[in-house]
Amino acid sequence: MRHRKVGKTLGRKKAPREAMLRNLAASVIIYEKVKTTEAKAKAVRSIVERAITTGKKPTLASRRKLLKQFYTDHPVKKLLEVLGPRYATRPGGYTRIVKVGHRKGDGAEIVQIELV
């Protein structure tokens, strides 16, 4: 039973799911818009929002916290140098999910997650 369990499993075990979400969050931060399924976009939205909020303060502690979260330093550098100052006055809501259509193979709902 999965009573009162929060979060989506996305059909994967814990480690592959976390790796996929980390990589997807890094892609959203680097490219600023990514096409993916609706479930993955909703799952990665909170990760991206938290990372941007952390990146708004360019301290050593926030850099180390972000480096623990991502596999490479490219998204960390972009968060601290570009996105942090851009969203400095915005209190939240940094992402937008726009429906694009259905995938041809299995009919999954495809959306575009982008930074506002």
Averaged in consecutive runs of 10 residues, what is the pLDDT profile of the chain (116 residues)? 89 96 97 97 96 95 96 96 95 96 95 96
- The helix (H) or strand (E) run that includes residue 101 is strand 95-102
- Whether the CB-CB separation of 61 and 80 falls below 8 Å is answered with no
Q: What are residue 110's DSSP bridge partners?
A: 37, 101
This prediction has a pTM of 0.92
Express the helix, strand and coil content of the chain in percent, nearest 5 each. 50, 15, 30
Q: What are residue 35's DSSP bridge partners?
A: 112
Q: What confidence score (pLDDT) does residue 114 get?
A: 97
